[in-house]
Each structure stands twice: as C-alpha cells, then as structure tokens.
Amino acid sequence: DAMVTRVGCIGAGYVGGPTCAVIALKCPDIRVTVCDMNPTRIGQWNSDKLPVFEPGLDEIVQKCRGVNLFFTTDVVATIQESEVLFISVNTPTKTYGHGKGRAANLKYVESVAREIAKVARGNKIVVEKSTVPVKSAQSIADILKANRNSQNKFQVLSNPEFLAEGTAIEDLLNPDRILIGGEDSPDGWKAIETLSSVYKRWIPADRIITMNTWSSELSKLVANAFLAQRISAINAVSAVCEATGADVGQVALAVGKDSRIGPRFLQASVGFGGSCFQKDILNLVYICESLNLPEVAEFWLNVVSINDYQKQRFAKRIVNCLFNTVSGKRIAIMGFAFKKNTGDTRESAAIYVSAHLLEEGARLAVYDPKVEADQVTRDLNNVTGTPDVVRDQVEVCSDPYEAARGAHALVICTEWDVFQTLDYARIFAGMPKPAYVFDGRKILDHEKLTKIGFEVETIGKRVRNVSQSHPAAITNGAGSGDGAAGLNSCE
C-alpha cells in the first residue's frame, strides 16, 4: 500500500492556496503543487505579497515554498505528477441561461475534469474540494470514464472544505471534522483510505468522517445553509428589537445559553456576505426546485431574503437619520471586506450599503485595512454600473482618521478590531454636527461614543442618544406608533 508522495491542486484561490500550504506544512515528505490558469495569481503566490490575506498564512508559505510547496501555471504537469489531485476551482452562481441567479456554474469544474481526462497518465484519486451540487462527483467520474485510455484508473472523492475566511489556517490546522465521500466499493474504500492517510498526519482519526459521495456533497451545502440561517434568524429578531426597545444582544445571550442552541453565530449585524453563503443556499434552492420540492426551496430562499432585507434596512436608516438626505454629504465607510481578517470583498454588505448611499448622492470615504483601492472601485463599478459616479464620489483612504475627517457619519461595515481602539474624541472633533455613528457590527462602545457626543445607531438596539433626551425628540421614545414603522428610531 503505497504512501502518497505527490499531491496536486487545481485552483490557487482562497481554498486551494491555504489548504495546500497546510498540507505541505504537516506532510514534509509530500510534494504539494498548486496550479492555476491565472498567471497573475501564481505570480503573487510566488511573491512576498500573497494574493490571499489570512492570519498565519505568510509564515507557512515562507517556510514551505520551494521546499515541498510549489505554485505553478503548468496545469498539465501538475495533473501528470500528482497521485492525489484536488479540484478547488470557483463554482459561482450562474449568471446566464437555465438556473440563472440560482444554480452553480460548473463550467470550471467540468473543464478541469476534461483536462484531467486528456492528459492524465496512470491511476489518480481526483478530489472534489470545490462546493458543488449533489451528484457533481458523478459527472466528473462520467467525464473521466468516457475519455480515459486503458491504463488509467480514476477514483473520484468528495472532500468539501469547511474553512472560514479570516480563520482559514486555524480551521485547517484544527478542523471540527474532515468529510470524505466516496464510492461504496473496494476501490472507493481504498481511495478514501488513501486520502484519509494524508489528513491523519495531523488530524485525529475520529474527526475524519466518511460517507457516500452524495451525502458528502449535500452536507456542505446544508452546513452553510444552517450557518446562514442562524444569522438571518437573529437578524430578523433584530428588527423586532428595534421596533420594541428590546436589545438583540441580550436576547441572543439568553437564547444562546440553551445548550441545544449554543451561543455562536448569534451576532446580529448588517447582514452576512462572502462568496459562499448566498451562493450555496441559492444552489440548494435550485436543487430543491429541480427535485420538485417547492416548499423546501421556499424555506431556504427566505434566509437570503431576510439578509437582503437587513442590508436594505440598514442602508435606509442611514439616509433617514441624516435628515432624509445624504446628497453631497461625506460619509465614511469603515471596512469594506465581508468580515474581519480577510481582504475578500465578495458579496460584502459594505458594497450594498455603499451603492445605496451613492445612489442617494452621498460622497463616500472608504477605509479598510486589507482591501486595495482598485478592488473597492471594481466592486462599486460592478454593482452600480456607473463608473463615473464611482470616480467622482468615492475616495479610498489609507487611514481611518482621514476617512472620518469631515464626514457626517461613520458607517461600520466590517468588524475589524482596529475600529474599537480608534481615538473617537479626535474623530468627533473633525466631523460636522450632529455626528453620527452607524454601527452595523455592534462592536463599538456605544455609551462611550454617546458621552463624546455622537449620535449612535446600531442593529437590534436603541441607543439613547443626546438628541433623544431633548423634548423635541420625544416621539423617538417607546410608543407603539414608531414601533409600527419598525425601521428606525430616527423618524
């Protein structure tokens, strides 16, 4: 029973790069090659500035690169030399044709399968790491089988990745579980055993779970659907809190103490982002629709709808509070990444909020510690479709104080730790009054900000603001009237 000596990976993105770096770190005797058809990305992986920011990643790449970890554009060589071959290419939501806006676009996965079928020599274990619809492994296997020459034998495994951006290295080093799905046959079991032997170098055997391919594929979609569902559930509650004077933080604390529920992922916010949650739920919805299960499809679709509602509510509240007009006003967007400790902006709530404010004529000053200026511009151009507006009205700042200077409001879109330790008295001094903070992540000390003089608005909680202690603002108090409006405490 030969040990694995060469592992390859097609797709050097947020998943392929960090995953292979950790395999290389933990398996010094395995040669790990990561390839990508995008030469810019490979160039970055081979440079001092990696294309992906993850705490701990730089150190691992520095240690292993050129030793047993290699980044290359040579897809053919990677396929030919690897015994175990991961596919971790992107599987975005389809933007055209049948299933548009819902189904996963599998063209990248399929083209990789065809490339493998064309150039592979000898036996290979092909590992589907990308998140895919149920039965995709079967399609890969069918393509490989239809094209293989007689010497080649393939086994296709499903091995979905559960890492979360921002904590990818920690998640990879110490995962809750490794999931491997395979064919229920002696060859299938052997392939599962081979892949397990790689993970067993650093992961306890009882955390490696194996099952049939379809369960494995479906489990990944369901795990993301459950996680997103918790966020939408607490966000839906946050709207009730804002309308009643309850505090969503307190409600989450009380609810999360139930051991059947647990405290994690109960943090209300401006809404979830990231490349995966929405895409994977929509994919699940599409599968349910295809299987003629419309009630189930509807159930999961509502998780996405509440998320849209939450982003929209927050964006509208900013305009309402700023006296119903932001036209020509400078607004500081604090954080543009979809969560802290990543530079990834895919589906970030900040993009939606920014686009809404631009449409209302605001001038934006964007600050994020890890997102490059041209990424901000690209995202806003894509979403608004008005590059000239973006050019004229958006300034990307390299310093949080610079972004805040002269702004009518600070809008916290990402929960970066640095935002908790800024000198808010200094920031307040440089802002027109009343100076607003919209804390979309509930990370700031609202009492302290209020004492400085800020008007503070946050998710799922009414903060007693300076203006609200004036008689003129008495309608903001707890009455059934404004509760019915349900949107904000500014009207």
Binding site for ligand NAI (CB under 6 A): 10-16, 36-38, 41, 75, 88-91, 108, 111-112, 130-131, 161, 163, 165, 275-276
Evaluate whether 117 touches 38 at the Cβ level (below 8 Å): no
What 3-state class would DSSP assign to 459?
Answer: coil
The answer to whether 254 is annotated as binding is: no
Evaluate whether 158 touches 148 at the Cβ level (below 8 Å): no
What's the closest the beta carbon of residue 154 comes to ligand NAI, in angstroms? 17
The answer to whether 92 is annotated as binding is: yes
Side-chain-side CA neighbours of residue 139 (13 Å): 16
What beta strand segments (E) does 302-435 contain?
330-334, 363-367, 394-397, 409-412
One-letter identity of residue 336: F
Return the sign of the alpha-carbon dihedral for residues 208, 212, 217, 220: negative
What's the closest the beta carbon of residue 272 comes to ligand NAI, in angstroms? 12
User: Alpha-carbon Rg of the chain, whole angstroms?
Assistant: 25
Choice between 372 and 445, CB closer to ligand NAI: 372
As a whole number of angstroms, the longest Cα–Cα distance in the chain is 85
Choice between 143 and 357, CB closer to ligand NAI: 143
438 forms beta bridges with 411, 457
What's the closest the beta carbon of residue 328 comes to ligand NAI, in angstroms? 37
One-letter identity of residue 265: F
The answer to whether 82 is annotated as binding is: no
What's the closest the beta carbon of residue 108 comes to ligand NAI, in angstroms? 4
End-to-end CA distance of the chain: 71
In 3D space, the residue among 184, 183, 187, 162 whose CA is nearest the CA of residue 173 turns out to be 162
Task: Provide the b/e sequence for 236-271 (b: ≥16 CB within 10 Å).
Answer: bbbbebbbeebbbbebbeebbeeeeeeeebbbbbbb
User: Cα(109)–Cα(115) distance, rounded to whole angstroms?
Assistant: 10
DSSP 8-class letter at 4: P
Which residues are known catalytic residues?
A: 276
Choice between 266 and 281, CB closer to ligand NAI: 281
The answer to whether 11 is annotated as binding is: yes
Burial class (CB in 10 A: 0-12, 13-18, 19+), 406: middle
DSSP 8-class letter at 338: S
Distance, CA of 112 to chain centre = 24
The answer to whether 335 is annotated as binding is: no
What's the closest the beta carbon of residue 222 comes to ligand NAI, in angstroms? 14
Choice between 99 and 400, CB closer to ligand NAI: 99
Choice between 9 and 364, CB closer to ligand NAI: 9
85 forms beta bridges with 8, 126
What's the closest the beta carbon of residue 389 comes to ligand NAI, in angstroms? 27
Please give the order of strands across the beta sheet that includes 363-367: 394-397, 363-367, 330-334, 409-412, 436-439, 455-458
The answer to whether 277 is annotated as binding is: yes
Distance, CA of 139 to chain centre = 27
The answer to whether 483 is annotated as binding is: no
The answer to whether 15 is annotated as binding is: yes
9 forms beta bridges with 34, 86
The answer to whether 336 is annotated as binding is: no
What's the closest the beta carbon of residue 157 comes to ligand NAI, in angstroms? 15
User: Cα(101)–Cα(31) distance, rounded to whole angstroms?
Assistant: 39
What's the closest the beta carbon of residue 113 comes to ligand NAI, in angstroms? 9
The CA-atom distances, in angstroms, between 314 and each of 84, 352, 353 are: 47, 10, 8
User: Cα(134)–Cα(300) distance, rounded to whole angstroms?
Assistant: 16
The answer to whether 16 is annotated as binding is: yes
CA dihedral 105, 111, 116, 117 (to 10 degrees): 110
Token duo for residue 204: 């306890």
The answer to whether 71 is annotated as binding is: no
User: Cα(452)–Cα(435) distance, rounded to whole angstroms?
Assistant: 10
Binding-site positions for NAD(+) read 11-16, 36, 41, 89-93, 130-131, 165, 276-279, 346
Annotated binding-site members: 11-16, 36, 41, 89-93, 130-131, 165, 276-279, 346
